């Protein structure tokens, strides 16, 4: 059966939300491999803006300048979610660096920046058969997505995962350091005035604290197939 035909029977859009290191990206990439969906970790769009703003010396205190910069950026996204570029420059590794990590919450909390990035994210989704992962996909970016997931896990479990995956995700961190960063990020994401971290009312909530990754992926794949039945 041609891939396009197989995809046609599946939900056209899937939203995956949840805090850092809850499994969103791993699940999204698994859906790419299993079904052929396109995938966007929306966090990379805010990280790209943060990198560009830091390079340009634009403070998050200047919201208008940040939004103007975001609107000018040529953010290029690979359909499988593996690479991110600013124009011709591959910034996939740079946007995971410590300076971006410590500043991204401040830039992503700006309403004017979020407005620009939500338009970009919706354009990606409009091309069809896409999985978008983030913190406000089911509530703001794609509120009408036919299938939504919200992944959650304890801070301890997420810190252990972040520490274990550091060599592929970003700079190495001890578990205690990762937990401190995750706690701070959770606090900022949950308390911001615009698009706070929360599950959509119609999302399938999965606690991944004690779930092996393969079991989590199997559960999500089953839910996708059930939605298509």
CATH of the domain at 206: 3.40.50.300
Please tell me the distance from the alpha carbon of residue 138 to that of residue 146, in angstroms, as a whole number: 10
For 167-172, what is the mean pLDDT? 50
Query: Would you state the pLDDT for residue 1?
Result: 41
pLDDT in tens, 36-83: 999 999 999 999 999 999 999 999 999 999 999 999 999 999 999 999
Please tell me the distance from the alpha carbon of residue 123 to that of residue 82, in angstroms, as a whole number: 18
Residue span of the structural domain in which 200 resides = 3-228
pLDDT in tens, 189-225: 666 667 778 899 999 999 999 999 999 999 999 999 9
Domain count, the chain: 1
Query: Would you state the pLDDT for residue 2?
Result: 46
What are the distances in angstroms from CA 59 to CA 13, 143, 194? 35, 31, 19
Please tell me the distance from the alpha carbon of residue 136 to that of residue 98, in angstroms, as a whole number: 24
For 92-108, what is the mean pLDDT? 93
Q: Is the pLDDT of residue 19 over 80?
A: yes
The share of the chain scoring above pLDDT 70, in percent, equals 86
Give every strand in the sheet of 38-41, ordered side by side: 38-41, 130-134, 13-17, 147-152, 204-207
Length of the chain: 229
Query: Would you state the pLDDT for residue 103?
Result: 94
Query: Would you state the pLDDT for residue 193?
Result: 66
Under 8 Å between Cβ of 19 and 158: yes
Please tell me the distance from the alpha carbon of residue 47 to that of residue 70, in angstroms, as a whole number: 11
Query: Would you state the pLDDT for residue 188?
Result: 67
Query: Would you state the pLDDT for residue 192?
Result: 65
Under 8 Å between Cβ of 39 and 80: yes
For 8-12, what is the mean pLDDT? 93
């Amino acid at each position: 059966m041609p891939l396009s035909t197989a995809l046609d029977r599946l939900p056209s859009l899937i939203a995956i939300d949840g805090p850092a290191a809850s499994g969103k990206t791993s699940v999204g990439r698994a859906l790419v491999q299993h079904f052929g969906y396109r995938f966007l970790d929306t966090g990379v769009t805010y990280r790209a803006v943060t990198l560009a703003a830091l390079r340009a010396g634009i403070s998050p205190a200047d919201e208008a300048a940040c939004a103007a910069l975001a609107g000018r950026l040529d953010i290029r996204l690979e359909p499988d979610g593996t690479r991110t570029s600013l124009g011709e420059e591959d910034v996939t590794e740079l946007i995971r660096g410590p300076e971006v990590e410590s500043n991204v919450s401040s830039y992503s909390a700006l309403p004017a920046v979020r407005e620009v990035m939500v338009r970009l994210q919706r354009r990606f989704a409009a091309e069809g058969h896409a999985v978008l992962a983030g913190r406000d996909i089911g509530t703001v970016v794609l509120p009408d997505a036919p299938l939504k997931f919200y992944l959650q896990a304890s801070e301890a479990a997420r810190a252990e995962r972040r520490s274990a995956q550091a060599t592929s995700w970003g700079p190495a961190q001890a578990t205690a350091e990762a937990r401190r960063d995750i706690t701070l990020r959770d606090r900022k994401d949950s308390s911001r005035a615009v698009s706070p971290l929360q599950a959509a009312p119609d999302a399938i909530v999965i606690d991944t604290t004690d779930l092996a990754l393969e079991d989590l992926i199997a559960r999500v794949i089953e839910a996708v197939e059930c939605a298509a039945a």
